[in-house]
Structure 1
């Protein structure tokens, strides 16, 4: 994947070929598409993988190849097929549209958010041939007036309007109740439709060794393990946010793509002035609503802001400075990292659901999911500051 400032952050470089596992995935995927394109039932191809396992990179490469065959002058089984790549994430959609500008096989209209595509296909009674869905765990699982979605489940709707659906799915990256997927929620779809699943488990983004990955995974399960040692990965704990920010600025000057990001623990109202994130002596504004075509992480001025899960999910950074806000604490009686939903400021994430039972464990899981997303952004380094004094003390003691 690219690591310089000017490049889309999950695009493969010319030198970076797909890994053997990714190549196997692409081969299986094309075999599946050609087999199921003309079957009576929609075929589902599900790709699982944790943050940083290269899901978007292989999806982008496979979709480019699919569209090249669709638009080829030479007769192929996929010539003339009507295909789309869907993602329910504004910043990632911008990256995909950037890729379209660099690739003769792609058009910007190939990339869509789910609701407009569903509504158009329904209105015109059309069926798409192949629909790729990146970050399918962000699809809505209830109607949503704000997003003009009147159905009950966006995945159901996309399946109903497609011959083959290829979806990337990771329940550990669900960030809102309105798109909440239990790990078992895919099972009814898989029981009903012919399907194949493929698991990507090699970490491509975080260059740290297994100790580093295990430490992050442990943290997001409430365990504070011994601090890992890895000469090739810079994991640092800070007593104050200002020196952490100073170091992020130095890394950005040195290698680019280094940013401050934080849990959604600091008040923020869209289009109502400037809202700040505080971390000890540090005070920086939250990311602003980005109306440009350039993704947040690629704009130089955002070095002076703090990114959220919504601006950074799915992207590579070189170095990530992560502020763990007041909702993330430590229970000394049980020696566990804990999260406190009542201190989480992302009201949109916790909009009430009457169909999910007791919401508190789900709210806790959403906060831990967001921490996992943030901690797995940095390729070469993760810097941490905890606002909660008890958690900060235990982190520093490592």
Structure 2
């Protein structure tokens, strides 16, 4: 792997040295450490870190955890020496990435990183109380029971806080992808404001190497509005009339720049773990969905064979690409009269994402928000270029007109 690509790899960025953090990141890390020191004996305290996709939330959390484990395991003079700390993430690819980083950091052990359900069930069984629990992708925490995934309580955040003195959360409500993880700011704040707490907001965009107008366009699209395409000589933003042409461009970019992959909304049939390939297909294009490989040592986009696959929102969430080719499926259409996107949950193939929606005040709005969030995740992956193709003729025509 060329050196530039090595520095863009997920593992490198997640485990970059503290002296390579920005001034803002270093200040936030120190703020979190001081919060932990001040609340080491509190009954419970919560530190909430928020920020849009690409603002370096996981980088901060990884660096904070390494600093905490250094104090806990190598600094006898610290009040945090001997503290029992753990980092949780409800995302198997991210968990794999965190565990890979233990090979270069002696203060970290693979057992330090767990899925939330594993931690909750073990802590409940053994009546354990952790000192500090860090949660990456906290927007993926379950807000209702899920017996299929061995979570029988009602809310994962409540259970994590029940079994920890201090909780440090990374949260972005725009990245909630399932109704069973449906969070809103009001629900979150009600939980943390009853005890000592601090919040921080990350704003600097590290992923998109582009003018802020590019990120603003993606945010506007997430709000169901289609604005004029931004022009940035340093970021390639292009609409394709043919999905296969888009794919060939992605293949070329992968050869010349690395980390270029196809992505699609979950509007094409797929069944997890059934032993068969499933395909994303248009009139000119057919490529298999990403194959589930739980034993793979590298995450999806950094595997060589994934150039011959289409990544889903679950595969790519939390990770970067240099170039992203996004196929917008039939669940996202455009109404020329209202000049807004129209969302069709009935066309979304991941109907399991809507399980439990009937219990919400506005089930249809929740389903539409899940689809918009998934689209936002897909469209916010690219560092250097975003390519789009829409299945809906009206949306495709609108994008081309821009």
Q: TM-score range by the shorter chain?
A: over 0.9
Cα distance in 2 between the residues matched to 1:9 and 1:178: 32
Q: 1:106 to 1:46 in 2, by over 3 A?
A: same
1:156 matches 2:180? no
- Counterpart position of 1:247: 249
Q: Superposition pairs for residues 1-398 of structure 1, below 5 Å?
A: 8=11, 10-14=13-17, 17-39=20-42, 41-72=43-74, 74-272=76-274, 273-292=276-295, 293-398=297-402
CA distance, structure 1, for counterparts of residue 15 and residue 123 of structure 2: 31
Runs of 4+ in structure 1 off by over 3 angstroms are: 1-7, 12-16
**Which whole-Å CA distance do the structure 2 matches of 1:161 and 1:209 have between them?**
43
Deviation at 1:33, TM superposition (A): 0.3
Instruction: Name stretches of at least 5 consecutive residues in structure 1 with no aligned partner.
Output: none
Q: CA deviation at 1:354?
A: 4.2
Deviations 1:51-103 (A, max 9, x none): 11100011111111111111105421111110000000001101101111221
Q: Compared with structure 1, are the counterparts of its residues 7 and 161 closer, same or farther at alpha carbon in structure 2 (3 Å cutoff)?
A: closer
CA RMSD of aligned residues (A): 1.6
* Cα distance between partner residues in 2 of 1:14 and 1:245: 35
> Does the aligned pair in 1 maintain the 2:88–2:114 contact within 8 Å?
yes
For 1:221 and 1:359, the matched residues in 2 are separated by 18
In the TM superposition, what whole-angstrom CA distance separates every residue of 1:141-160 from its partner, at most 9, and x where no partner exists? Answer: 01101110011000000001
Give the 3-state SS of the residue equivalent to 1:329 in structure 2.
strand
The answer as to whether partners of 1:2 and 1:12 remain within 8 angstroms in 2 is no
CA distance in 2, matches of 1:280, 1:256: 27
C-alpha contact (below 8 Å) 1:3/1:316 kept by paired residues = no
Taking structure 1 as reference, are residues 169 and 78 closer, same or farther at Cα in structure 2, changes over 3 Å only?
same
Q: CA deviation at 1:295?
A: 1.3
Q: How far apart, in 1, do the equivalents of 2:192 and 2:63 lie?
A: 25
Structure 2 gap segments, 5+ residues each: none
The structure in which a higher percent of residues are helix is: 2
Q: Aligned equivalents of 1:120 and 1:154: distance in 2?
A: 13
Deviation at 1:274, TM superposition (A): 1.1
Work out whether residues 37 and 79 of structure 2, in 8 Å CA contact, stay in contact via their aligned partners in 1: yes
Q: 2: CA distance between counterparts of 1:9 and 1:221?
A: 33
Change (3 A) 1:9 1:236: farther
Measure how far apart 1:348 and its partner are. 1.5
SS at match of 1:236: strand
Cα distance change on mapping 1:3 and 1:209 into 2, 3 Å: farther
Per-residue deviation at 1:194? 1.1
Question: Is contact 2:323-2:384 (8 Å) kept?
Answer: yes
Aligned residues: 397
Structure 1 length-normalised TM: 0.96
Alpha-carbon distance, 1:328 to partner: 0.8
Closer, same or farther: CA 50–359 of 1 in aligned 2, 3 Å: same
Q: What TM-score comes out, normalization by structure 2 length?
A: 0.95
CA distance in 1 between counterparts of 2:5 and 2:202 reads 19
Is the partner of 2:149 in helix, strand or coil?
Answer: coil
Q: Distance in 2 between matches of 1:78 and 1:16?
A: 22
